[in-house]
Homo-oligomer: A and B are copies of this chain.
Amino acid sequence: MDIKTLCLGLLCAGDASGYDLKKQFESTFKHFYPAGYGSIYPSLADLANRGLVTCREMPQDKKPDRKVYSITPSGREAFTAALQDVDPEHKVRSEYLVAMYFADFLEPQRLEQMLAVWRESLGDGVTRLKSLERDVGADAPAGTRFVLGFGKAIARAMAQYIEENGDMLTGPEREHESAGLAKTNNIETRL
């Protein structure tokens, strides 16, 4: 699955411009499928080329023109097919966890700061998702409520884990910087 497919799916719910879609990616999708203009605009152009969407230009006064895309029957079909076919994956790529894994190579203050920033951004995420939930309302589609609730629950779980276990990294009795230097550098001995 790629961003093209996601755009197609969003257009199934109604016409939109690239700019509109970006807002969706920045709000609902941010925590599990973020995308920027650099992916969205080329996707729409390609989908239009393949006849999966159509585009009308809407001149506006006092504002740049909008290109509003609509899904076509074959586009809807393609999306449904793509969705049935996926072999879903849940992928994480976390530089925070990399940093924590290599905590011994970080200056204690830098480590502490990273943990603080992380906690804060998780808190911001929860706040953002809460207000989004409020905005979409209780009558929003089940899928929407499910993914927003998921994001909130997981962000909270992450914050809690950090809260409860952060001290195992920042604790006093840790060795700094050269950890591993004293140990053997020879794999045969390690294994």
Contact = CB atoms under 8 A, between A and B. Distances in A.
A180 B95 contact: no
Q: Which of A83, A145, A154, A158 has the most CB of B within 10 A?
A: A83
Contact of A103 (B84, B89, B146, B161): B146
A104 to B, nearest CB: 7
A14 B88 contact: no
Contacts of A145: 168
A4 to B, nearest CB: 12
B33 A185 contact: no
A102 interface: yes
B70 A83 contact: no
B153 A161 contact: yes
Interface residues of A, number: 76
Nearest to A17: B187
A112 B30 CA distance: 25
A123 interface: no
Interface in A149-168: 149-150, 153-154, 157-158, 160-161, 165, 168
A64 interface: no
Contacts of A6: 98
A120 to B, nearest CB: 12
A130 interface: no
Contacts of A1: 95, 98
A48 B188 CA distance: 21
A179 B143 CA distance: 12
The 4 closest A-B pairs by CB, nearest first: A157-B157, A88-B95, A32-B97, A101-B143
16 contacts: A6-B98, A13-B180, A14-B190, A15-B187, A16-B187, A32-B94, A33-B93, A34-B91, A88-B95, A88-B117, A90-B92, A92-B92, A93-B93, A149-B161, A150-B158, A154-B157
